[in-house]
Amino acid sequence: MPLVIDAPAIPASPARRRVARVAVIRTRPDTVIEDYARVMDLAGYHDVLARDRDTLLKLNLSWTKYFPSCSSQPWQVDGVITTLIAGGFDRRRLVPIENRTVVTDPREGCRANRWEGVLARHGLTFTPLPEVEWRVYEFKSPLLKLNRIFPEGIQIPAMYPGSQIVHLPTVKTHGHAVMTGAVKNAFGGLLREVRHYAHKYMHEVLVDLLYMERELHPAVFTVMDGTVAGDGAGPRTMIPRVKNLILAAADSVAIDAIAARLMGFDPLSIPFLRMAHERGLGVADPRDIELVGDDVSQENFGFRTRRSLVIWGDQMIRRGFLRPLERLLLHSPLMVWAPFASNVYHDAVWYPTIGRARVRSFQRTEWGALFRKY
């Protein structure tokens, strides 16, 4: 029987004002660490995060392999940790974490994405979430879908309640969610390996995550890397685009809205952002978001979200012409075919034929040179 976590004694938040602040600045490889300190300062991290609490650093691993724009960049991890330690945060209370999926391995990904050396240099230890205790948590919020997807109870890491969290996503598109950022990064920490069950109702589930985080964490902060952004069939099979931007904010919805606008999307046309805005879980209307830092008002990356073969197949099974086979293919012992097919497609087909050439092209950029130094 899974244990049940009681809700932590976190003071109720004051009524949310319908306004938010997002910091965006331009950067370059030789100043990126200092620029992370600047963008976090502009976003007021010291007013949001408490030095006397455990701080979870939720990294983003979308592929065990390193692929530019796919997962948290090593300079992003370096910049955030450097800023927090310089700001008086006890390194013993900084906890870098990431989960696994049916197609990723967090320990191997930590090495391949060059986080391991960064963490060691700062005296931090990586914590893979599959190796920690998980418990059922009884949420009081009116969740839209997750209680029905997991009727036996929603299990979360036991370390989550009462800890503050810093998300480290990247600016990129996503075949299920249009774009991915701060809100989607919570998906990888709050739900177990079988979270792919939630793909069918992705936008409603992302709103659920915001309700869940509001109950669990006394503070949430996001530092997003857009030095190299991902265009196309995200979150893995993308075209990396050098954009030289980094973002920070205390409002997960607002920072995702600005990232979406930078990529060329109308934030309020993305269902999870619109629903979160309507429910007062954050600010998605750019007119109500104060931008501080550098002027990016004319930026439009012109990105387009596409679906990889794997995501297209997943959607056909959950909502398309293969829907009658959904239970058999994805909710029975036969579902082992799905991660096998995904790994074959991504690692044995797409990466050798397309991905490796894109990595070589990236390696010729200044950011590629910086990656090699890590």
Please list the ranges in the chain whose pLDDT falls under 70: 1-18, 193-197, 308-315, 317-318, 322, 325-338
**Nearby residues of 136 by Cβ (< 8 Å), 6 or more positions away:** 2, 3, 4, 5, 152, 153, 154, 155
CATH number at residue 250: 3.40.50
Residue 293 lies inside a defined structural domain of this protein: yes
Residue type, position 343, single letter: N
Residue 134 domain boundaries: 16-307
Q: What is the pLDDT of residue 337?
A: 62
Residue 325 lies inside a defined structural domain of this protein: no
For residue 280, the Cα-to-chain-centroid distance in whole angstroms is 21
Bond from prior residue into 130 cis (ω within 30 degrees of 0): no
Number of domains in the chain: 1
Place of tokens 């177990």: 192
Residue 89 lies inside a defined structural domain of this protein: yes
Q: What is the pLDDT of residue 197?
A: 66
Q: What is the pLDDT of residue 291?
A: 97
Residue 10 lies inside a defined structural domain of this protein: no
Residue 254 lies inside a defined structural domain of this protein: yes
Q: What is the pLDDT of residue 341?
A: 76
CA atoms of 220 and 182, how far apart (whole Å) = 10
Residue 88 lies inside a defined structural domain of this protein: yes
Task: Write the pLDDT tens digit of every residue in 3-12.
Answer: 333 333 333 3
Q: What is the pLDDT of residue 338?
A: 67
Rounded to two decimals, what is the model's pTM? 0.91
Residue 139 lies inside a defined structural domain of this protein: yes
CA atoms of 71 and 307, how far apart (whole Å) = 18
Residue 230 lies inside a defined structural domain of this protein: yes
Closest CA to 250 of 24, 41, 37, 43: 43
